[in-house]
Amino acid sequence: MNQPIDNALLEQAAEIALQQAKNQGASAAEVGVSKSQGLSVTVRQGDVETLEYNNDTGLGITVYFGQSKASASTSDLRPQAIADAVKAASGIAKHTQADDYAGLADAELMATEFPDLSLYHPWDIDAEQAIIIASQCEQAGFDVDNRINNSEGASLSSHQGGRVYANSHGFVGSTISSRHSLSCTLIANDERGMQRDYWYDMTRDPADLESAKHIGQRAAENTLKRLNARTVDTGTYPVIFAADIAPSLFGQFIGAIRGGALYRKSSFLLDHLGKQIFPDFIHIHEQPYLLKGIGSSAFDGDGVATKARDIISDGILQGYVLDSYSARKLNMNTTANAGGVHNLTIDSGDLDFAGMLKQMDKGILVTETMGMGVNIVTGDYSQGAAGFWVENGEIQYAIDEFTIASNLKDMFMGIQAVAMDVQKRGNTRTGSVWIDKMTVAG
């Protein structure tokens, strides 16, 4: 059973680390201390396949001697172990080359307000209860149709943790959060062989999780739709990325405007600030203060206060994704994105999913992509895929063993609509995305 999370000990450990860094003569220091605990179970064909408990603690200290820096870590929060870690980091820092851009984020940028974002909802669940829920989820899938005859399992995980980030500006940021998920992957057979598909949900609050029965049934329905898959003729077609996988498209976009890619000059969106990247109806923005949001936070990994901001407005790039280090390298200001973006949101238009299929009329709905065929330097995009053939505005049959290819610049500018079927399970919130054309190889 999980114990309630209390960050007092973590804050105390952070304070010891910063004091030790000062004692060692460091000109600045920052420390992250975390504690996480939880359990994960997987049930496959009614039997418990895995049962894992975790209870992890860690402290990472970075010390600066002028522009030279070094880091060390420990999983032991006793004062002597912390002192040893700081001493080790200090010893290394004195031998590292100075980096003109190294250092803490500016003191005046530190967060000063810490609203309750409703991120901590512990689940008083034990292994036995977790096994029952996972079993019910899998069985609900099996009960849908006798063609569902195998499973990769149903998994339930429940985790909670605390994290403290502190630095020698006097900043101390403390968060506690929880995350719970339930998933099911099922297998069905037909003449062409096996097909698999899944469904899952993930929330901060266990009360918000979809029911075990619903997740199992949805996994079964998705799997059955994949049966009797056909091949598709090679050609150029409109393509819809289903809401489940559409976040990957915007993940590529964020990767291309991230500070590290920009200062290394390894992005196809280099020098695109103020330029049109998407059609003018596309609005992409961060919402760091959403209650129960997976990406919600009052401060970033540098302690900088987060704020709601537009990244794309009227299709035009308004800002990059920078931490304090990459901002200095680019002679710009941090965008409070050390550690990533905060609830990236792509606004939907007025089409629901069925309406989007109807308007597309004929083309391909992609529900799964495979492979690593995306080049952020050139924007070239090529992925293995599976999905459905759409004709007369309706799904006709499953298709598999094909590839989709284009360039991300053309894909972004070719977006026709974003549907209203928004998935809110992760850090990126978007509906299904319809792209005017891609090259499809069957």
Q: For 321-380, what is each residue's pLDDT tens digit?
A: 999 999 999 999 999 999 999 999 999 999 999 999 999 999 999 999 998 889 999 999
Residue 2 binned pLDDT confidence (cut-offs 50, 70, 90): low
Q: Which residue has the tokens 């590839």?
A: 403
pLDDT of residue 436: 97
Q: Is pLDDT above 90 for 257? A: yes
The pLDDT score that the predictor gives to residue 371 is: 86
Banded pLDDT at 193 (limits 50, 70, 90): confident
**Would you give the DSSP letter of residue 298?**
S
Question: Does 144 score more than 90 pLDDT?
Answer: yes
8-225 in CATH: which number? 3.30.2290.10
What residue ranges in 45-171 does DSSP mark as E strands?
A: 47-65, 68-74, 148-167
Where in the chain are the domains? 8-225, 229-442
d(Cα 321, Cα 52) in Å, to the nearest integer? 36
Distance CA 327, CA 93 (A): 23
CB 184 within 8 A of CB 219: yes
pLDDT above 90 coverage of the chain, percent = 95
Please provide the average confidence, as pLDDT, over all residues in the chain: 96
Per-residue DSSP letters for 313-326? ETTEE---B--HHH
Buried b (16+ CB within 10 A) or exposed e, 147-166: ebeebbbbbbbbbbbbbbbb
Against a cut of 0.85, is the pTM above it? yes
Amino acid at 274: G
CA distance 221 to 8: 47
Alpha helices in 156-279, H assignment, sequence order: 212-225, 246-256, 259-263
Query: What are the tokens at 146?
Result: 């006798």
- At residue 442, the pLDDT reads 87
